[in-house]
């Protein structure tokens, strides 16, 4: 009778050494990858600290005139966001546009009002925060001077919420969309808005000067995490090498032992 096992020969076993080399190679690649990620996070941290320093310098600098139309195409977040600017002109009469806001005073809205500058162009001014149920005072009449922080437009909407201009529901300060809703000529509207400073004489709403300038700076903890992972791979590699050496040592010791199990024949 044929042995069933003989009909299905066993698959050749991959040598243990080949498995060890492959696993060791994976550890080396993983370690190098973790180190690279840690170094990248340190570079990001340096960039973030430089950004914070530049923004802090802009906030506390003397206000400069708001960029004119010739400069609008070059306005960028990296170079102009949070720059202290001033502008003079007249507010466009109307109720303004309310965009959703969450501040230290709770939930409410930012009140954005178009201001026609002395040059005839328009810039949206965030007059400040209005809480839910709060009544906003009308915009000042006549020529005014506004000082505040230049902010870059926030297109589309907020997190998981898109603006609905047709319903006048706004979750972000989308300059272009708000300007269209206000009926302003597109080519005459600045591509940014201004967060107005708080008026010390004002006791009601809206309340200006509530811009929160805060940047997440967790890059050091991320870098330490990646470097820690790299260290763990080194420990795993060291453990692998030590285990293999111990196994080889045990094999050599067993092979060098004399064979005491001898067969005794009767005399």
Q: Which residue has the tokens 């991959």?
A: 14
Residues 66/115, Cβ–Cβ less than 8 Å: no
- Token digits for 231? 């260290």
Contacts of 4 (CB under 8 A, 6+ apart): none
Question: Virtual CA dihedral for 14, 19, 20, 21, nearest 10 degrees?
Answer: 100
CA distance 48 to 32: 24
- Say if residue 172's pLDDT is above 70: yes
Contact of 194 with 146, CB cutoff 8 Å: yes
E strand or H helix that includes residue 43:
helix 16-59
pLDDT in tens, 197-228: 998 877 889 999 998 877 777 888 888 999 99
Annotated domain spans of the chain? 63-196
- CA-wise closest residue to 142 among 213, 191, 204, 93: 93
Q: What is the pLDDT of residues 70-106, one digit of tens each?
A: 999 999 998 999 999 999 999 999 889 999 999 989 9
SS3 8: coil
Lowest mean pLDDT of 114-123, 169-178, 212-221, 250-259, name the range: 250-259
Segment 1-28, tens digit of pLDDT: 555 555 555 545 456 678 778 888 888 8
Instruction: Identify the pLDDT of residue 62.
Output: 94
More confident residue, 7 or 59: 59
The SS3 assignment for 63 reads coil
- Contact call for residues 189 and 92 (beta carbons, < 8 A): no
């Amino acid at each position: 009778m044929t042995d069933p096992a003989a009909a299905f020969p066993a698959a050749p076993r991959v040598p243990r050494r080949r498995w060890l080399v492959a696993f060791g190679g994976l550890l080396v690649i993983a370690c190098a990858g973790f180190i690279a990620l840690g170094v990248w996070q340190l570079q990001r941290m340096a960039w973030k600290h430089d950004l914070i320093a530049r923004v802090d310098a802009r906030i506390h600098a003397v206000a400069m005139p708001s960029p004119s139309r010739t400069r609008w195409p070059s306005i960028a977040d990296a170079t102009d966001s949070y720059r202290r600017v001033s502008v003079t002109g007249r507010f466009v009469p109307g109720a303004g546009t309310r965009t959703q806001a969450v501040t230290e005073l709770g939930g409410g809205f930012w009140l954005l009002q178009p201001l026609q500058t002395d040059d005839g162009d328009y810039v949206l001014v965030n007059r400040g925060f209005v809480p839910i149920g709060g009544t906003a005072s009308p915009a000042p009449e006549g020529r005014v001077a506004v000082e505040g922080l230049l902010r870059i437009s926030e297109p589309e909407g907020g997190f998981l919420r898109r603006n609905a201009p047709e319903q006048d529901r706004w979750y972000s300060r989308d300059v272009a969309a708000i300007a269209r809703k206000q009926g302003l000529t597109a080519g005459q509207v600045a591509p940014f808005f201004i967060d107005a400073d708080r008026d010390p004489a004002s006791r009601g709403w809206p309340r200006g000067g509530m811009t929160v300038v805060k940047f997440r700076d967790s890059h050091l903890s991320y870098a330490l995490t990646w470097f820690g992972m790299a260290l763990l791979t080194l420990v795993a590699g060291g453990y692998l090498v030590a285990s293999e050496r111990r196994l080889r040592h045990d094999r050599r010791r067993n092979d060098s032992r004399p064979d005491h199990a001898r067969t005794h024949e009767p005399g």
